[in-house]
Structure 1
Amino acid sequence: MTAWTADRIPDQTGRTAVVTGANSGLGLVTATELARRGARVVLAVRNTAAGEEAARRIGGDVEVRELDLASLASVRAFAAALTADHPAIDLLVNNAGVVLLGPRRTSADGFELQFGTNVLGHFALTGLVLDALTAAGRARVVTLSSITHKRAHLDFDDLMSERGYGASAAYGRSKLANTVLGLELDRRLRAAGSEVVSTLAHPGVTRTNLTPRAWEHLGARGKVLARVGLLMAQPLEQGALPQLRAATDPHVRGGQFFGPAGLGETRGRVTEARLSREAADPEVGRRLWDAAQRLTGVSYL
């Protein structure tokens, strides 16, 4: 089978794409490739100065908008302004994420910072722009997962990791929650008869500023694994291919999950990735969806 590469991205002219965390790393590569194919790309970033520098590097039809996913007020303001200017949105790539080291920190709304940013900020954003996605016709939402989701477990009595906190373990739980919600979004869109498609992707082990932190919860062994992981890590351009395929491949179906094919899904050509049993459980999806609606105050589907 021919490997899927960025050269296979179809023409994106006339399409509007929103990429969170687009000023660096995987988000920057994703935004660059979409703009290169003719898309109008909105860089949704917390640091607008960094966003403007990224926009200059990307070129094309690119605009920068401020979005702090750790603040629901910021998410609401961003979504309102975005949909006023872009009533039809063809693609939303929920790419941004934070990885913490050290003690537990909280978001502006009092959530554990990784769960609040990676999960609840994106959940609220998706719901608030869903009408614009629907207006575009067969739009897509891409949710970024991680191979760390397979080692994680959700405790519905402690979603904010207030008991026995470990930063890396909490990151894994946030990526499991992202995966659960991306799949539940697909189920609900299909049940509603919507043309919007929800897909998922993970980058394997890729050379980003987040890569070493994925192993911190394993202590000294984790530090060794992180060094080995960086040596084995694939470049950003390769790591972004799963999310670019999820975003643009015309043959993609709702609920498909893409990642690297080789070495425990850490690197290599893009293929369909494996889900943990918990991630794929519809009952877990229902429970987490209900919890996310309650925590964010954003209800949809």
Structure 2
Amino acid sequence: MPPRICMRSLLDGLNASLTTTSRLPIRTFSSTSPISAAARKKRKHATLDRYAAAQLERNRLANRTRQAELRAEDALAAGDPVHGRPTPFVESFDAAIDLPDLSPDADSPPAPPAARLKHFFDPDEIEQTLSKAQHLAHPINTAPAHPGDTSPFAELLENHTLQHQTATEAIARITSLTQANNEDLLRVNIQRCIDVFGRHSTDSTLPRKALAASPGPNLSPAAGRRDPAPVPRAGPDTGSSEVQIAILTAKIRAVANALETRGTTDKVTKRDLRLLVHRRQKLLQYLRRKERGGPRWVNVIEKLGLTEATWKGEISL
């Protein structure tokens, strides 16, 4: 016969096993991920009252508005990446008129600048040609002239004078830049840029930049050293950075004015403007790095009205 099991012993064993199990650490498992920072922040804001939530939203809106104002102020201070700021020399590109020399070193009053004409004409050459034409077309006097003479020769002489005046006015209108097209204006402006910013002209007026002191093993520090004297040039300077920047500024102004009249539908002109602006930006960065804020850099920036927006940062048009 099977042994008889006491109910009391069974209950005591069961209680002992439960007591041992309850002493073990119980580990809980959760299928959900931990709460993120954004969700915790959202839950915290949800617990706020309506007044605190409205005040928080008001502060956030004021912060965004202030940031937009600061960005607008920075953009205004940086200037226009295309036009820069207006200067007399840049504004003279529209009419291709030379400005008088207003330097404080000049003792005498500034002389009027020489007029520039279309088609590579020289004013002195035109004046000599007109004088020679007037002399060749002058009528021949076959009779002695008397005061109050009303002979046919007097009428011929008067007609000849009137015809010469008419021809002079016609030649002046034909060769004047007031009726020139964009190509003639750009050609004259390029020549003006070469004459103003070329080193064949500025070497005698602008001081040479200071070199960094680099003493050798047997040399003393040469504080305040300057660039060596410039080598005499065989012709006008057309390839320096200053001249190229000035020429690009003249082209940019011409293209920008044409784009304003045609509208934004002219994609080709807009692309040309973007290429010219970026090319000028690279030259400006090179000149600034090379001159280290020297007199040539200051001369280019002041005369052309170039701001930080024309060379600093990213330019998007």
**Over alpha carbons, which structure has the higher Rg?**
2
TM range (shorter): under 0.3
Which has more helix, going by share of residues?
Answer: 2
Asked which structure has the greater RCO (Cα within 8 Å, sep 6+), the reply is 2
Which has more strand, going by share of residues?
Answer: 1
